[in-house]
Amino acid sequence: MGKSALEFDQIAREVFAPIYSVIVKQIRDKTGISSGICVDVGSAGGYLGIELARISELYVYLLDKSEEALTIADKNIVAGKFQKRMETMLADVHKIPLSDQSVNLVISRGSIYFWEDQAKALKEIYRILTPGGVAYIGGGFGRKDLKDQITIEMKNRKQDWRGGRSENSCTDCGEVFVRALRQADIPEFQIVKEKAGLWIYIKK
């Protein structure tokens, strides 16, 4: 198993653990979607998707292009006893192996900063959304105090993290996202700016 996947998973479990339950409650409250099909794009070990499954009736796909990350995610699904409501999907966001209009909710935290072609990926996400379906994509920490706590902890560990540098230093990400959304011909969207993060909200 790749060392980087193991290291990232350790950070996700030991440092980022408090944010996932906070973020999924925000997603649930913002979208109003608690049943149907969900895809967690760039899921890594699946911690965000697992927390969402815990507070909803959604069937959740954990999508990532890393086999190593999904090996970890499969173990986490079993540990959480979510085998009947979750599964991993080895795929790239630029070519999601799901039918048109088949997904009620797409979530993603931190991965958008690493997509090779944001417009193409967003267009693909829009394609799989059902009418009335929602995508909640971006980067954030749930609350400002959690962001501060994680930033201090990572500095103490003298480590960077996947997405951390991009999320903290991206001063024009909102404008970048808007350009990509327009290039993807997505007619209705919101950019949600918070002290603890930046999110794209799309409703089809």
Q: What percent of the chain has pLDDT above 70?
A: 92
What the block records as the tokens of 172 is 């024009």
Domains of the chain: 3-203 (3.40.50.150)
Task: Give the model's confidence band at 1: pLDDT under 50 very low, under 70 low, under 90 confident, else very high.
Answer: very low
Name the more confident of 22 and 164: 22
pLDDT in tens, 177-191: 999 999 999 999 999
- Predicted confidence at residue 146, as pLDDT, reads 80
Angle at 111 between CA 109 and CA 117, to 5 degrees: 135
Distances (CA, A) of 62 to 44, 146, 149, 179: 8, 24, 27, 27
The answer to whether residue 165 scores a pLDDT higher than 50 is: no
What is the per-residue DSSP string for 54-90? HTSEEEEEEEES-HHHHHHHHHHHHHTT-TTTEEEEE
| Contact call for residues 168 and 195 (beta carbons, < 8 A) | no
